[in-house]
Amino acid sequence: MKISKSFIPTLKEVPADAVIPSHVLMIRSGMVRMVSAGIYSFLPLGYKVIRKISEIIREEMNAIGGQEFHLPALNPKEIWEATNRVEAFGDTMFHIKNRDYVLAPTHEEIMTFHAKGVLKSYKDMPQIWYQIQTKFRNEPRPRSGVIRGRQFLMKDAYSFDTSLEGLDKSYELHDKAYRNIFDRCGIKYFIVGASSGAMGGSKSEEFMVQSDAGEDTVAYCENCGYAANIEVAKSVIDPVKRDDVGKEVYEISTPDVKSIDELCEFLKIDERETAKSRIYIHDGKPVLILMSGNDDVNESKLELVLGGNVRSAHPEELSDITGADAGSIGPIDFKHRIIADLRLKGGNNLYSGANKNDYHVGGIDLERDAPKTEYFDLRSIESGEKCTRCDSELAVFKAIELGHIFKLGTKYSEGLGANFVDENGEEHPIIMGSYGIGVERVLACYLEQNHDDNGIIWDNTLAPFHCHLIGLNMKSELISGTCEDIYTTLQKKGYEVLFDDRNDVSAGFKFNDADLLGLPVQIVVGERNLKENMIEIKERRNNEKQKISLDDLYQKLEELLK
Ligand code: ATP
Ligand code: MG
């Protein structure tokens, strides 16, 4: 491709709305342009890379027996209603105004629709069906460029099995394929245990890239490799203390004391001697959630414990439920379900709200005074806490989710009535798995990990072109003629070449563009060198330059680009 005839609108300036490196680089190198928040056009250079990533994904999906589909993005709403997912997606789902259609945010429903009545017998399975196709989600805060789009490309795959053992096998195959895909793309990733959340199902793992630009938080143990999304991550429980002498429950007047910090200050006690109460509404019924001190409730953990619909109670509901306002609520004589964090189990002489404004109680022994309390791990863990496997310190950091593999089970086959008949003629719902990769996120994560101050650093695999041929003074016939020869020969040898043949920009401008675009090898043809039959080549990864004889170019390239 000759630059003079191509559309690669590079920018010198950093775009105002771009903060993270991948976003900046994709815009500056002319790979994408934003159309509206969370909606991007891929320009030719960017789309070339997307196609290379897609091809790697295809090869690895086909290698595990995957068969490629192309499903519609425009879906009748009723299919989504059959699985209650119009409600589950809520505002994230785009609705079409003049018809009962939605834009698909994922494709479990449509794939299950195709399996229904077709995968009828146990003999028809296993099957792995996939596609690489556009998804639509009304993400509330689209930022970080293509990492969170409202329209984005996903590879989504679905497995159909007749037994849990079969599902295990399909899941393992995808796990392997995903490792191959991300390894081939040159991305450093790690795998975390994740919450299956509202999707239903059992085991689920996410492929993550550590990055401050990420919106997921993960806990990681460098010593033993334990890694989990904060939504499910565990650490060694550090329980609150149990005094030898337990007091009786007693009331304390605490005027204007609302927060845990104010209570600690007022009574001159430690945060760990307090238990903070919050009211949630679960399927219409109040539940009191009790945490030690200021520990936060991790709402994903809470949802997993409770299942169904969970929300925090509105302030105006509190006094009806407890007799007090926020800040004075507590477990003593509470009429409904109480769920406490594991840290509180066995603690005594605790302080909490009295369910009476401006009063607290002390001397609480939860097992004695609120014996029906149930205990679960509800806390978000923090850096420095101990790993449950090896007792080393856990690190908690931000990460980007590249891909997700899920054991779905029968949620969708039951919802849509996709059943099969087993060896004994009995009918069962098909057992499914679902497996996604954000294709644009693969590109963004690669760029997050492979750049320097001057621009992108491509490996041979994903690079939009293998080499960048730069003719320094294209007005010179010697240079332009030599470059044309090199350009033709390299293409004949199967290389993809970007040829900077412009004769109206300076050498410095060309070098800056070449470093920004970051193709693996730059071939610089200049007058002084050429008079000695020499050219210069530069490896972008280490910025090493070498003067070599023109005759050695092809041999050298073969070495560098193997
Ligand atoms: P996230 O938590 O980041 O919103 P998700 O859990 O909603 O992701 P899935 O529904 O599992 O994601 O989708 C599968 C894959 O699609 C994700 O692993 C991610 O790589 C990609 N993906 C999801 N949402 C977006 C988005 N808004 N823009 C770009 N890629 C996305
Ligand atoms: Mg999401």
> Looking at ligand 1, which residue's alpha carbon is closest to its atom 30?
438
Sheet with 544-549: strands ordered across: 497-500, 467-471, 521-525, 534-539, 544-549
Cβ pair 69, 128 in contact under 8 A: no
Q: What is the distance in A from the centroid of ligand 1 to the CA of 436? A: 8
Segment holding 305, helix H or strand E? helix 299-306
Mean pLDDT of all residues in 425-434: 97
* Ligand whose nearest atom lies closest to the CA of 57: 1
Which protein residues are within 6 Å of ligand 1, measured from CB? 106, 137, 139, 148-149, 152, 154, 215, 401-404, 436-438, 440-441
Residue 14 or 5, more confident: 5
Residues contacting 202, CB < 8 A, separation 6+: 196, 407, 409
pLDDT(201) > 60: no
Per the rule left: phi > 0, alpha: psi between -120 and 50, beta: everything else, 284 is left
pLDDT(200) > 70: no
Sheet with 275-282: strands ordered across: 310-312, 275-282, 285-292, 337-341, 374-376
| pLDDT per position as a tens digit, 267-308 | 999 999 999 999 999 999 999 999 999 999 999 999 989 987
Q: Which of 441, 445, 463 has the alpha carbon at shortest distance from 135?
A: 441
Cβ pair 404, 201 in contact under 8 A: no
Q: Which residues pair with 400 in a beta bridge?
A: 209
Q: Which of 14, 34, 16, 11 has the alpha carbon at shortest distance from 440?
A: 34
Closest ligand 1 atom to 404 CA: 18
| pLDDT at residue 438 in the model | 98
pTM: 0.85
Cα–Cα dist 45/518, whole Å: 12
The alpha carbon of residue 422 and the mean position of all alpha carbons in its chain are separated, in whole angstroms, by 37
Mean pLDDT of all residues in 429-448: 98
Cα–Cα dist 1/491, whole Å: 10
The alpha carbon of residue 557 and the mean position of all alpha carbons in its chain are separated, in whole angstroms, by 37
Q: What is the distance in A from the centroid of ligand 1 to the CA of 149? A: 9
User: What is the residue-averaged pLDDT of the chain?
Assistant: 95
Q: What is the distance in A from the centroid of ligand 1 to the CA of 253? A: 50
Q: Residue 199: pLDDT band by 50, 70, 90 thresholds? A: very low
Q: Which of 231, 232, 325 has the alpha carbon at shortest distance from 277?
A: 325
Name the residue with tokens 């430690």: 270
| pLDDT per position as a tens digit, 103-152 | 999 999 999 999 999 999 999 999 999 999 999 999 998 889 999 999 99
Q: Which of 474, 538, 464, 468 has the alpha carbon at shortest distance from 501?
A: 474
Which amino acid makes up residue 141?
Answer: R
Cβ pair 356, 277 in contact under 8 A: no
Name the residue with tokens 């519609």: 72
| pLDDT per position as a tens digit, 252-277 | 999 999 999 999 999 999 999 999 99
> Looking at ligand 1, which residue's alpha carbon is closest to its atom 31?
438
Which CA distances in Å does 315 have to 37, 281, 289, 337, 360? 34, 12, 15, 19, 19
Which CATH entry fits the domain spanning 250-376: 1.10.10.10, 3.40.50.300, 3.90.960.10, 3.30.1960.10? 3.90.960.10
> Looking at ligand 1, which residue's alpha carbon is closest to its atom 16?
438
Which amino acid makes up residue 100?
Answer: D
Q: Which of 478, 272, 249 has the alpha carbon at shortest distance from 359?
A: 249
Same fold, 250-376 and 458-560: no
The string of DSSP codes covering 320-387 is: HHHSS-TTS--STT--SEEEEEGGGTT--SEEEE-SSTTEEEEEE-HHHHSTT-EEE--BPP-TTPBP
| pLDDT at residue 452 in the model | 97
> Looking at ligand 1, which residue's alpha carbon is closest to its atom 13?
436
Three-class secondary structure of residue 552 per DSSP: helix
Cα–Cα dist 104/496, whole Å: 36
| pLDDT at residue 112 in the model | 98
Cα–Cα dist 496/94, whole Å: 40
Mean pLDDT of all residues in 204-225: 92
pLDDT(351) > 60: yes
Name the residue with tokens 């002319």: 30
Three-class secondary structure of residue 192 per DSSP: strand
Cα–Cα dist 452/72, whole Å: 40
Closest ligand 1 atom to 137 CA: 27
pLDDT(15) > 90: no
pLDDT(194) > 90: no
Q: Among 133, 441, 442, which is best to mutate for testing ligand 1, by the most ligand atoms less than 8 A from CB?
A: 441
Backbone angles phi, psi at 258, to 5 degrees: -115, -50
Q: Which of 85, 116, 73, 74 has the alpha carbon at shortest distance from 199?
A: 85
Number of CB atoms found within 10 A of residue 79's CB: 18
Prior bond of 331 cis (ω within 30°) = no
Q: What is the distance in A from the centroid of ligand 2 to the CA of 302? A: 19
Cβ pair 326, 315 in contact under 8 A: yes
| pLDDT per position as a tens digit, 26-57 | 999 999 999 999 999 999 999 999 999 999 99
First to last CA, the chain: 21
Cα–Cα dist 393/302, whole Å: 25
| pLDDT at residue 559 in the model | 94
Which CATH entry fits the domain spanning 46-233+396-447: 2.40.50.100, 3.30.390.50, 3.30.930.10, 3.30.450.20? 3.30.930.10
Cα–Cα dist 218/231, whole Å: 8
| pLDDT at residue 284 in the model | 92
> Domain locations in the chain?
46-233+396-447, 250-376, 458-560
Highest mean pLDDT among 301-310, 314-323, 484-493: 484-493
Provide the percentage of residues in the chain whose pLDDT is more than 70: 99
Per the rule left: phi > 0, alpha: psi between -120 and 50, beta: everything else, 232 is alpha
Which CA distances in Å does 15 have to 30, 385, 398, 433, 457? 12, 40, 24, 41, 20
**CATH number of this structure's domain 458-560:** 3.40.50.800
| pLDDT per position as a tens digit, 531-546 | 999 999 999 999 999 9
243-282: buried (b, 16+ CB within 10 Å) or exposed (e) per residue? eeeeeebeebebeebeebeebbeebeeeebbbbbbbbbbb
pLDDT(196) > 60: no
Handedness of CA 127, 131, 136, 142 (dihedral sign): positive
| pLDDT at residue 198 in the model | 45
